[in-house]
A and B are shown apart, each in its own frame.
Chain A
Amino acid sequence: MLSKMKKIILSCIFLLSFIFGKGQFTSATLQASGLTCALCAKSIFTNLTALSFVGNVDTDLNTSTFLISFKPGNEVYPDQIKKKVEAAGFSVSNLVLTFTANGETASQQSHLKIGGTYFHIILAKAKVLSGDVKMQIIDKGYVGIKEYKKLLAGNKLACYQTPEIADCQIPELNNAIQSVHVIIK
């Protein structure tokens, strides 16, 4: 009986989580890997600033870290950020997005739609998001190879184990442009 109640509550939270929030992504911290030279960092910098939703990019050359601020009111596409780093010839080893939340509810197994992207927030328990929430994308290509292997071993969700959106088995996701898995930092 109790487990049935729990299921119903979770389902409710799950459904609620599809209600669009009004929060938005304001900035991101990206660490790139595979480079030490300033010329190499410049190619990443140039590619990132070419993205329509990117406003300003500050670089810390000594740590290959890029502080990206997004243009307000624009949808943010994490896969385009990743592709731009790869086109420059390098990889993303860490991408943390800052989401200014507005009461969005995140639960276990919830996919929060923000802009054109579904964010699967991996959480221990349901949570109402407020203020600035830092979300690290933990899918393949968004973290270092070693870290990804550790994350894979620690997260047995079928949805996370394969890059196929279909494996999430959530009808709403079938038409999704992209879905990423995030952890809240």
Chain B
Amino acid sequence: MNISKIYIVVFVFSIFYNAVYAQELYVLNDPASNVPAKSLNLKYAGKYVNESFNGHKHLGTRQMLEAGMGLNKSLMIRPSLTFSNMYKVYPDRQLNFESVGLYAKWRWLSVDDIHKHFRAAFFLKGIYSKNNLLFDELTGEGDQSAFQAGLIFTQLVNKLAVSSTFTWQEVLDGERWLKYGGPRNFGYRSFNYALSTGYLILPRKYSNYRQTNFNAYIEILGSRGLDRKYQFLDLAPAVQLIINSSSKLNLGYRFQLAGNAFRMAQTGFNISFEQTFLNAFADKKND
């Protein structure tokens, strides 16, 4: 199936399907909104894939820790750390340190109205990774040492939320600058894009902060190699429980709709838990 057709179908589907309530606390992508100023959001995420490489199949996993911090109303930073057993030479299955990253997001536009907003943000991310290049797929998750720059646009209208993310990625692996002639085995530059949408299933009507909220999300994630010709498009449905207006439990599945990229896996599960500490860095006096 043609990738652009799928993109249009899912986009239209997501718009009509979200007519009731929508949320933008996406599981795999960031909205243009930030962590509140002087607040902390800790996230643990586990990614599980059926890794298939050189004829060996096994469960590959990445364990990730992130600490999102709101510096002020429009700027946030988020250091991250990952451990994984991916990219290992069989039969090594040891979970080891894999990568560190630093993400910074600047919300440069915010137009608010009752139950409505349009926001735009610019982000940068730098990742140092121990991994060797093995696959086409370039991510900001820790697979490669890389630099990312991107734009996010999030629109919430009458409780319908749609967010799009456009990311330029440059792989900063030492191999990129080696001069050995001949064709390159790997791509170093990609354009990643995503469309995220979500809706609140429960409660139908809010009563208090302690109510558990149940959200469902659909995210579409695509990538296109800019120096090496490949592309893929994934669909990632997810469910989310928000407990006591401070903790989030996310469960998602991601699978490829179409593509021709050489990837570690075309499907994967992810589970994550987030805890928000509002006003964690605020001094107790008025400021």
Contact with B along A51-72 (1 / 0, CB 8 A): 1100000010110100000000
Q: A33-B113, A80-B286, A93-B113 are in contact. Are A38 and B209 (CB under 8 A)?
A: yes
Q: Interface size on B (CB < 8 Å)?
A: 44
**Nearest chain A CB to B123 CB, angstrom units:** 16
Cα A124 to Cα B284 in complex, Å, equals: 42
**Nearest chain A CB to B274 CB, angstrom units:** 10
A163 at the binding interface (Cβ < 8 Å): no
Contact with B along A25-38 (1 / 0, CB 8 A): 00000010111111
A45 at the binding interface (Cβ < 8 Å): yes
Cβ contact of B115, chosen from A39, A64, A89, A145, cutoff 8 A: A64
Cα A122 to Cα B167 in complex, Å, equals: 49
User: Which residues of B sit under 8 angstroms from A23, Cβ to Cβ?
Assistant: none
Q: In the complex, are the beta carbons of B22 and A39 less than 8 A apart? A: no
Cα A73 to Cα B116 in complex, Å, equals: 37
A46 at the binding interface (Cβ < 8 Å): yes
Q: Interface size on A (CB < 8 Å)?
A: 33
Listed residue (B209, B246, B276) with the most chain A CB atoms within 10 angstroms of its CB: B209
User: Which residues of B sit under 8 angstroms from A86, Cβ to Cβ?
Assistant: 73
User: Which residues of B sit under 8 angstroms from A43, Cβ to Cβ?
Assistant: 36, 39, 276, 278
**Nearest chain B CB to A89 CB, angstrom units:** 5
**Nearest chain A CB to B12 CB, angstrom units:** 22
Q: In the complex, are the beta carbons of A38 and B112 less than 8 A apart? A: no
Q: A43-B36, A50-B282, A87-B36 are in contact. Are A38 and B211 (CB under 8 A)?
A: yes
Q: In the complex, are the beta carbons of A64 and B114 less than 8 A apart? A: yes
A91 at the binding interface (Cβ < 8 Å): yes
Q: In the complex, are the beta carbons of B245 and A38 less than 8 A apart? A: yes
A90 at the binding interface (Cβ < 8 Å): yes
Q: In the complex, are the beta carbons of A33 and B159 less than 8 A apart? A: no
Listed residue (A33, A37, A59, A93) with the most chain B CB atoms within 10 angstroms of its CB: A37
Q: A38-B209, A39-B246, A39-B276 are in contact. Are A93 and B159 (CB under 8 A)?
A: no
A100 at the binding interface (Cβ < 8 Å): no
**Nearest chain A CB to B129 CB, angstrom units:** 31
Cα A35 to Cα B25 in complex, Å, equals: 12
Cβ contact of B112, chosen from A47, A61, A80, A93, cutoff 8 A: A93
A88 at the binding interface (Cβ < 8 Å): yes
A149 at the binding interface (Cβ < 8 Å): no
Listed residue (B33, B114, B116) with the most chain A CB atoms within 10 angstroms of its CB: B114
Q: In the complex, are the beta carbons of B112 and A90 less than 8 A apart? A: yes
**Nearest chain A CB to B115 CB, angstrom units:** 5
User: Which residues of B sit under 8 angstroms from A115, Cβ to Cβ?
Assistant: none
Give the contacts of B100-130 with A (CB-CB under 8 A): 107, 110-117
Q: In the complex, are the beta carbons of A89 and B73 less than 8 A apart? A: yes
User: Which residues of B sit under 8 angstroms from A36, Cβ to Cβ?
Assistant: 21-23, 115, 156, 159, 200
User: Which residues of A sit under 8 angstroms from B213, Cβ to Cβ?
Assistant: 37-39
Cα A42 to Cα B113 in complex, Å, equals: 18
Cβ contact of A144, chosen from B70, B114, B207, cutoff 8 A: B114
Q: In the complex, are the beta carbons of A37 and B73 less than 8 A apart? A: no
Query: B-contacting residues of A (Cβ < 8 Å)?
Result: 31, 33-39, 41-43, 45-47, 50-52, 59, 61-62, 64, 77, 80, 86-91, 93, 144-146
* The 3 A-B residue pairs with the shortest CB-CB distance in the complex, in nearest-first order: A34-B112, A61-B206, A91-B112
Interchain residue pairs with CB less than 8 A apart (12): A33-B112, A35-B115, A37-B242, A38-B245, A41-B245, A43-B278, A52-B285, A59-B208, A86-B73, A88-B36, A88-B73, A144-B113
